[in-house]
Amino acid sequence: MNIHGLQKMTLLDFPGRVACTVFLGGCDLKCPFCHNAELIDGTAKPVMDDAELLAFLEKRKGLLDGVAFTGGEPTLRSDLPDLLRRIRAMDLIFRHT
């Protein structure tokens, strides 16, 4: 899975948790006010893949409580459930923003 952006730490996107924010491309809504317009059609260049994301999360075990997913619209991704299972296996929690 292509990851189109990563905020390495956030205290805002996952209230009460120290998390990172993962940006995924693609969205079917195409809201004219979207602040991530480059992610709507999924043509934004990826910054990493899912293997690199998991390696990043492994290095930050004990520092991060969870992962916030945003986009675009992450739930459109058919490969998202598998990635969420792998993140959960690392004892991290996740949230869709």
Full pLDDT tens readout for the chain, 97 residues: 999 999 999 999 989 999 999 999 989 888 888 888 888 876 789 999 999 999 999 999 999 999 999 988 999 999 999 999 999 999 998 778 7
Homologous superfamily of the 2-96 domain (CATH): Aldolase class I (3.20.20.70)
| Domain chopping of the chain, boundaries | 2-96
Q: Tell me if 6 sits within 8 A of 39, measured CB to CB.
A: no
Tokens of 38: 């480059």
Q: Which of 67, 63, 62 is nearest to 3 (CA)?
A: 67
